Structure 1
Amino acid sequence: MSVSGNSDAVSYAKVIDGKTAADTGDRIEYVKVSLAFLPLSTPVSDAKVLTGRQKPLTEVAIVFAEIRTRDGYDGIGFSYSKRAGGYGIFAHAKEIADNLLGEDPNDIDKIYTKLLWAGASVGRSGMAVQAISPFDVALWDMKAKRAKLPLAKLFGAHRDSVRCYNTSGGFLHTPLDQVLKNVAISRESGIGGIKLKVGHPDNAEDLKRLTAVRKELGDFPLMVDANQQWDRDTAIRMGRKMEQFDLVWIEEPLDAYDVEGHAALTAALDTPIATGEMLTSYREHEQLILGNASDFVQPDAPRVGGITPFLRIMELAHRHGRKLAPHFAMEIHLHLAAAYPIEPWLEHFEWLNPLFNEQLELRDGRMWVSDRYGLGVTMSEQAVKWTVQTAEFGKQP
């Protein structure tokens, strides 16, 4: 009886389910990778420039990925690099791009692992994963479009808007009187917080600028960013002097990989510590989070390898009660921040605006998730004009 019953069940399954998921799944047929250089109207300097470690920033390299499938779906993603690295990311992306062809675009984690192994010889962090980011982001963009949802809704949004702060008006190269004008303009535009760069060779100059900005803002949310340029003694001394300003956080007071130093500051100061933007893998963020090295985690999806590892970082951060403030790339991070259980902050940078036909909505101190499917952005003609190299794989559907 049992043998016969099993045989009947198999026959019944064949009748009911004649095809498997593998038989019916979509397939990637075409991949395009592009390298563009976005020029900045004014060279930008932070503390790394004043300490002689870097030159002023004049342009941002953008690596785009466009993916299309047999069933007519498409997705767009991007990674970026400031100063050096753009050509390297593009070169590695070209080397691994054909690994996507023939894959079901819905199997994003599987594809991510495949791309990691394709470049395993050069590691699982840094440029190796930054070259995966455009593909990974494009696949998530496509998946949300297939579901006819904004990406935030595909993840499961906790909110439809995210608190948003501005950085670009407070760089160290900007004279104080212009910083104060920029602060006023940002508030009028609907921004929800202001971040001021610190890290002058003369610490008194930082305190002078911070005092003036706090006076201008009143009790408006204010953050500072030292861009890794203090040693431990300077960081604790400046951190204590800055307690009076009621800051939302002190960002990157120490070298990005100094987990012990950041943990000591986090324990010693009332002002929260934020760091993580320079880390380039899940494992590096894991060390930061498990080491109790910050109050705010600041992962950057293009830098850590895309949305897939960013989601893992989010899960770990939430499990350990950390707050979230993603770095740069608001076009991607708006959706991720909207899906984080603890109220996050989003960094507003208008630099990337010319790359896209659509712009994000800022009002009432928050950035709002649009009703457009996926990321909700498409490449502009200006982005195409700034493109210097392209590579195509597969066939145009």
Structure 2
Amino acid sequence: MVSGTNSQAVTYAKATDTKTAAETGDRIAWVKISLSILPLATPVSDAKVLTGRQKPLTEVAIIFAEIRTRDGFEGVGFSYSKRAGGQGIYAHAKEIADNLLGEDPNDIDKIYTKLLWAGASVGRSGMAVQAISPIDIALWDLKAKRAGLPLAKLLGAHRDSVQCYNTSGGFLHTPLEQVIKNVAISRESGIGGIKIKVGQPDTREDIRRLTAVRQELGDDFPLMVDANQQWDRETAIRMGRKMEAFNLVWIEEPLDAYDVEGHAALAAALDTPIATGEMLTSYREHEQLILGNASDYVQPDAPRVGGITPFLKIMDLAARHGKKLAPHFAMEVHLHLSAAYPLEPWLEHFEWLNPLFNEQLELRDGRMWISDRPGLGFTLSEQARKWTQRECEFGKRP
């Protein structure tokens, strides 16, 4: 018989033979950052162009991060910029990417903090975090792939599909007759809602286009408008009151993105919900928006706020305050995040990024459906590679 003392000694000996988590596990071995320029078939104009504040959009800069681990797992993520900033995001991502090497890819929040400190002198919002976004998204993609799950399932999905609305057919450069045709095409393709752009210098033209689209859709089909920050407070309240009759799901960005007080006053004055937040580039900025009751729908953009890690924190805060969710752009990422939101969200449909990926999302019955592919469910296309202008690698690819 082994005495109690000897038994404890044997147990202790076995315990000391056991490796700790720090001594085991996978490690990041290789990172690639690349910049691709995606051309648009037609120059795109919203209200910012018609008011003279911006030039028409002709291309989108896409910054990719590809991460591979010692055990052979790989993740892909992206950020983007329109008109300007793509070169800067790429340059900053290149500067901080080597901090990933040797890290456990599962420790995403730890890595995020490390990358923030690596670029601390340029702040914790804007381009500084947009450069972290492709890396952070790639790490979440990798983590879900390691688990063999779609990202939505890894996060804990509330639904397997998300109601989806189209934006790309209703820009202001598009003649009204073509907008009406685009609306019909979108409905036939299975879209669940339509958003058109407003905010023109002549507000009567906004009402004319809105009237025609509502007549085409009927009274109850979900319809949204987006002013792209081009109204002042007086115009916004007047237009908001005129638009109450159109049964809109929301009025988007009626005021400057940072006018929390103005948006809050507008949201309180109108029956039509207010949506905003797409231009904000940090958790703290969204915190001000949410705590200030400045919108009914919050519209964070994962590539703009710094990736999935801060986006999840924004989701948690928004849900605790009863806000609806309607993420901006990047449906390839936001489908998974929206599926994990407790309140029924909306997903924005843009087909612009389709050429970048070998796989496509499924749209039917007014909703976008999550595939059974693990991670985000995408691999980069040869076309994305051909559009690459700059790239850099760190470490050695296993």
For the superposition of Structure 1 and Structure 2, which TM-score range results when normalised by the shorter chain?
Answer: over 0.9
Letter in 1 for 2:323: R
Paired position in structure 1 for 2:271: 270
Percent identity (aligned): 84
Q: Paired residue for 1:237? A: 238
Q: Which residue of 2 aligns with 1:64?
A: 64
Against the structure 1 CA distance between its residues 237 and 106, is the aligned structure 2 distance closer, same or farther, given a 3 Å change threshold? same
- Residue 349 (str. 1) matches residue 355 (str. 2): no
Per-residue CA distance 1:40-73 (angstroms, 9 max, x = gap): 0000000000111100000000000000000110
Describe how 1:315-330 pairs up with structure 2 within 5 A: 315-330=316-331
Letter in 2 for 1:237: R
Task: Report the residue type matching 2:368 in the other structure.
Answer: M
**How many residues were matched structurally?**
393
Distance 1:23 1:241, change over 3 A: same
In 2: Cα distance, 1:287 partner to 1:10 partner? 57
Alpha-carbon distance between aligned partners in 2 of 1:395 and 1:9, rounded to the nearest angstrom? 45
Deviation digits for residues 325-379 of structure 1, max 9, x if unmatched?
A: 0000000000000000000000000000000000000000000000000000000
**Which residue does the alignment assign to 1:21?**
21
Which runs of at least 4 in structure 1 moved beyond 6 Å after TM superposition?
A: none
Q: Indicate the residue corresponding to 1:114 in structure 2.
A: 114
Unaligned runs of 5+ in 1: none
Q: Which residue is 2:11 aligned to? A: 12
Distance of aligned partners of 1:9 and 1:230 in 2 relative to their CA distance in 1, 3 Å threshold:
farther
Q: Which amino acid aligns with 1:170?
A: G
- Structure-2-length-normalised TM-score: 0.97
Name the aligned partner's letter for residue 303 of structure 2: P
Q: Distance in 1 between matches of 2:373 and 2:60?
A: 26
How many angstroms apart in 1 are the aligned matches of 2:342 and 2:115?
30
Which residues of 2 match residues 211-290 of structure 1 at below 5 A? 211-218=211-218, 219-290=220-291
When residues 322 and 71 of structure 1 are mapped into structure 2, their CA distance, relative to the original with a 3 A threshold, is same
Deviations 1:207-264 (A, max 9, x none): 0000000000002100000000000000000000000000000000000000000000
How far apart in 2 are the matches of 1:151 and 1:117? 27
Q: Within 2, Cα distance between the matches of 1:356 and 1:22?
A: 35
Alignment partner, residue 367 of structure 2: 366
Measured after TM superposition, the shift of residue 25 of structure 1 is 1.5
Q: Distance in 2 between matches of 1:295 and 1:328?
A: 18
Cα separation, 2, equivalents of 1:82 and 1:10: 65
Q: After superposition, where does 1:74-223 map in structure 2 within 5 Å?
A: 74-218=74-218, 219-223=220-224
Give the whole-Å Cα distance in 2 for the aligned partners of 1:301 and 1:10.
52
TM-score (norm 1): 0.98
Partner of 1:388: 389
Equivalent in the alignment of 1:339: 340
Could you list the runs of 5+ residues in structure 2 that have no partner in the other structure? none
